[in-house]
Amino acid sequence: MRKKLLVGNWKMNKTMAEAKSFALAALPLVSYAESKNIDIGVCPTYLSLDIVKKTNPKLIIGAQNVDYHTHGAYTGEIAINMLQEIDIDWALVGHSERRSYYGETNASCNLKVKALLASAITPLYCVGETLAEFEGGLTKSVVERQVREGLKDLTKEDAKKIVLAYEPVWSIGTGKNASQAIAEEVCHFIRTILDDLFAEVSEEIRILYGGSVKPDNVRTYLSSPNIDGALVGGASLQVDSFRALIENIAE
Ligand code: 13P
């Protein structure tokens, strides 16, 4: 049985002071979620990672990006050992905004996934098609390439440690969320690829849906057999809404 997972991606929102006050207000949510057998986490900006971790150490804290080089002349980037130094648990890889605005490719995602696994940080690998690809009937071929190339050369032991998120680009921040049927169909399709790549461990890998998830629709997604949680942008920013998301997925 895969444990449910709710992750908030704050994107480029919240000053350090705002992030700290969310982390404080979220202290009771951690024990509530634990009692309901749900993992919860947030991905603040790099600047706020440390303060959120220190304020709420049991919340899963993820970076929104990371570089795969160990150090060197990579202006503006952050290395994995810098995340480790402040006990960061997870990192997003290949979010569609990184792919579309900053040139992230399946190959660079693969390097990041492997570097994170080598450092015992959980990669949350994001895939999803654009509106043009969706309308062109290309969803499965695009997602298949993203999964196969992004997870290339991983062992089964590695694969057990990763989390995937299916986020159709056309549903991110648009209020046009994918129907439950589409989300489940694609997440099921992803699981068949994982079956092919990693055979017996594929059932252990969590797959999240993301894209305009709100407190009033989160439960529907999570009632789907292959959707194990949600990656939430806008609705994760306010602690009341984050709490409502958790409450609505609790049994
Ligand atoms: P929204 O929930 O704001 O649509 O964002 C989804 C997302 O991109 C999470 O990573």
Q: Domains plus CATH for the chain?
A: 4-250 (3.20.20.70)
d(CA 123, CA 94): 10
pLDDT at 99 over 90: yes
Tokens (6 digits) for 150: 């992004």
Could you tell me if the CB of 232 is within 6 A of ligand 1? yes
Contacts of 56 (CB under 8 A, 6+ apart): 23, 24, 26, 27, 30
- The single-letter DSSP state of residue 138 is -
What sign does the CA torsion over 146, 150, 152, 158 have?
Answer: negative
* Residue among 6, 9, 10, 214 to mutate when testing ligand 1 (max atoms within 8 A of CB): 9
d(CA 241, CA 193): 34
C-alpha of residue 199 to centroid of ligand 1, in Å: 30
In angstroms, what CA-CA distances link 250 with 43, 116, 130?
21, 30, 31
C-alpha of residue 23 to centroid of ligand 1, in Å: 19
pLDDT at 154 over 80: yes
Helix or strand run (H / E) with residue 8 = strand 4-9
* Minimum CA distance residue for ligand 1 atom 2: 233
Could you tell me if the CB of 49 is within 6 A of ligand 1? no
d(CA 5, CA 48): 22
pLDDT at 251 over 80: no
Band of the pLDDT at 1, cuts 50, 70, 90? confident
Could you tell me if the CB of 231 is within 6 A of ligand 1? yes
Residue whose entry in the numeric block shows the structure tokens 């305009």: 212
pLDDT value for 177: 87
pLDDT at 173 over 90: no
Distance of CA 230 to the CA centre of its chain: 8
